[in-house]
Amino acid sequence: MPTGVLLRAADGEPARAAAPGGDAGATGDSAKGKHDMGEHQANRTASDTGCGAGAPDSGRGTAPDSGHRTAAVKAVKAGKYARVERERRFLLDRLPAPGAVAVARRITDRYVEGTRLRLRRVERLDTGECTYKLTQKVPVPPGEPGAVQGLITNLYLSEQEYARLRAALPGPELTKTRLSVPPLGVDVFEGPLLGLVLAEAQFETAEDAETFVPPPGCVAELTDDRHFTGGRLVRTDREELRDGLAGYGVALP
């Protein structure tokens, strides 16, 4: 296991939140019309597919403009409360073996309309223990490749605080089950996204991110495909998902 891979905390690491002018679930995304995901996949080439394709500076896929990317990454600096988020995401063709799952948690995310905020409830399925938090994500500029996703700031809440905010803050919700399979968090979706299985790994350094070996059952790397971030998926219907997965050679059941 790479030393810089972070095992997930009580609720795991969040999916990307809605961001005006950003990528994940921005209010403008919903106005793009249906099949946005499918149209994106139609423009992909054969070299774009497969695990590790297009991953950061690792020789997989087409190499990005290193000078441009370096400048963008240097601009992302941790603050007093915000930290730099480094993450790689993968599309899986199977669920992990039951014996490999350390903990299972049910996650409900509300992406607050018109903001970069996400309200999250996490329930540990074996104990019923719940965690609540409000998260802000400030993404890197659209089109920037690599594991650096942007800045993330978390505020942990009481159950009462969560209930008050949930009643006051409108937005669509996304529910999934997160399976902890160290060093990965595997998200199993339901509803319109039934059949979608994604894996994420978090990293402390760029080197650890670049040298990470994709997990078994990996169909493709989605790190640079923002259509598969939480803020986009919360607004994705069944037909759009079917079109998007077809670009990776995956058929929904």
- Residue pair 25/19 in contact (Cβ under 8 Å)? The answer is yes
Among all chains, which residue has been given the structure tokens 């259509």? 227
Q: How far is it, in rounded angstroms, from Cα 110 to Cα 175?
A: 9
Nearest to 172 by CA among 235, 238, 123, 239: 235
Fold of 5-61+79-246: Hypothetical Protein Pfu-838710-001 (2.40.320)
pLDDT of residue 12: 46
Nearest to 131 by CA among 162, 110, 85, 104: 162
Nearest to 124 by CA among 155, 101, 103: 103
pLDDT of residue 102: 97
Q: How far is it, in rounded angstroms, from Cα 185 to Cα 8?
A: 7
Q: How far is it, in rounded angstroms, from Cα 91 to Cα 249?
A: 11
Q: How far is it, in rounded angstroms, from Cα 88 to Cα 177?
A: 19
Phi-psi region of 125 (alpha: psi -120 to 50; beta: other; left: phi over 0): alpha
- What does the domain layout of the chain look like in residue ranges? 5-61+79-246
Q: What tokens were used for 194?
A: 């039934």
Parallel, antiparallel, or unpaired: how do β-strands 117-124 and 103-111 relate?
antiparallel
Q: What tokens were used for 36?
A: 């946005």
pLDDT of residue 27: 41
pLDDT of residue 16: 33
From first to last of its 253 residues, what are the pLDDT tens digits of the chain?
A: 333 333 333 344 433 333 333 333 344 444 344 446 655 555 554 445 567 654 333 333 333 344 434 444 455 676 778 888 889 999 999 999 999 999 999 999 999 999 999 999 999 999 999 999 999 988 877 766 678 778 889 999 999 999 999 999 999 999 999 999 999 999 999 999 999 999 999 998 889 999 999 988 999 999 989 899 999 999 999 999 999 999 999 998 8
Q: What amino acid occupies position 9?
A: A
How much is the pTM? Answer: 0.74
Q: How far is it, in rounded angstroms, from Cα 27 to Cα 20?
A: 6
pLDDT of residue 7: 30
pLDDT of residue 31: 39
- Residue pair 12/181 in contact (Cβ under 8 Å)? The answer is no
Q: How far is it, in rounded angstroms, from Cα 117 to Cα 125?
A: 25
Q: How far is it, in rounded angstroms, from Cα 137 to Cα 85?
A: 9
